Chain A
Amino acid sequence: MRRYPPRGDKPFRYPRAQEENESPRERRRLFESEEPKREPAPSKGSPDSGYAMPEKNASERVDSETAGQVSNEPESKELEWREPERPDNGEKTITGMGVESTGLAGTIELATAFVPWQMYGRTLDLREALRLGTLFPELTRTPPRYKKPGTRGEE
């Protein structure tokens, strides 16, 4: 059974970073270097586009509209594929496991919980600690004021 934090002289690091022996920045750099080149979207009508729906001829469309006939063919717009819009904020988009994230979120994995590790720093005065319920100022919380149901909170 593994034990966190590990005993030893080395400073504590998050388990994942420790296992892979790389920092989040280093992991991102490696990921970007391994990212395959994104091919541009094939143009409509090209043989390798994958969309077999033929484009309706412009002259035929004008003729059918002028003749008052309704075409039974589905609109080809429904089958158009577009590149998803990405915010152009200078940050590189990271794609992986079907999810995308940009900016700060790109440096960490999505849907992964991280708990900050408490570091020993300043401690409160003992009387204040007894009153607040903790010795550590970073753990103090102001409890919400109790509001009696049906009132505005004055009572």
Chain B
Amino acid sequence: MDPRQKELLMRIMELEFACIDLDLYLATHPDDTRALQDFKMRSQELMNAKMEYELAYGPLLNYGFGTNPGRTWQWIDEPWPWEINWRRSGT
């Protein structure tokens, strides 16, 4: 697996987790403007990272939810999640 691809996947996972945690915080603190600002910033970063990944390596989601409709079936060529060794630099 391309190290750059793996790095992008890791970045997407980190940003998604941060967005989920901020979302949970905002559920009980809806008036916290700082948290809301951070949430908007992180979600924008996440959207950009996903777009960058899909443009370079194909769609992240099935059923056409990705932003790369022309290469919808490319995901079958990617390694499955359990085939990725996150501790090594290679696949």
A: residues with CB less than 8 A from B are 5, 7-8, 118, 120, 123, 126-127, 129-130, 134-136
Determine whether the beta carbon of A126 is less than 8 Å from that of B25.
no
A-B contact list, 17 entries, CB within 8 Å: A5-B28, A5-B31, A8-B31, A118-B29, A120-B25, A120-B35, A126-B14, A126-B17, A126-B18, A130-B13, A130-B14, A130-B17, A135-B17, A135-B18, A135-B21, A136-B21, A136-B25
Instruction: Please give, as numbers and ranges, the residues of chain A lying within 8 Å of B14 by CB-CB distance.
Output: 126-127, 129-130
Q: How far is the CB of B37 from chain A (nearest CB, A)?
A: 10
Quick check: is B4 within 8 A (CB to CB) of the other chain? no
Minimal Cβ-Cβ distance residue in A for B17: A130
**Which residues of A are found within 8 Å of B18, using beta-carbon distances?**
123, 126, 129-130, 135
Query: In the assembled complex, which residues on chain A have CB atoms less than 8 Å from the CB atom of B35?
Result: 120
A-B contact count (CB 8 A): 38
B30 in the interface (beta carbon within 8 A): yes
- Please indicate the chain A residues that have their CB under 8 angstroms from the CB of B13 in the complex: 130
A120-B34, A123-B38 are known contacts. Are A129 and B29 too (CB-CB below 8 A)?
A: no
Report whether over half of chain B's contact residues are helix, strand or loop; otherwise say mixed: helix
For residue B83, CB closer than 8 A to chain A, the reply is: no
Chain A residue, CB-CB nearest to B21: A135
Q: A120-B35, A135-B22 are in contact. Are A5 and B17 (CB under 8 A)?
A: no
Across the interface, which residues of A come within 8 angstroms of B30, CB to CB?
Answer: 7
CB distance from A77 to the nearest CB of B (A): 59
B60 contacts across to A, CB distance below 8 A: none
- Nearest to B31 among chain A residues (CB) is A7
Residues on B with beta carbons closer than 8 Å to the beta carbon of A127 = 10, 14
B40 to chain A, nearest CB (A): 14
1/0 contact string of B57-88 vs chain A (CB within 8 Å): 00000000000000000000000000000000
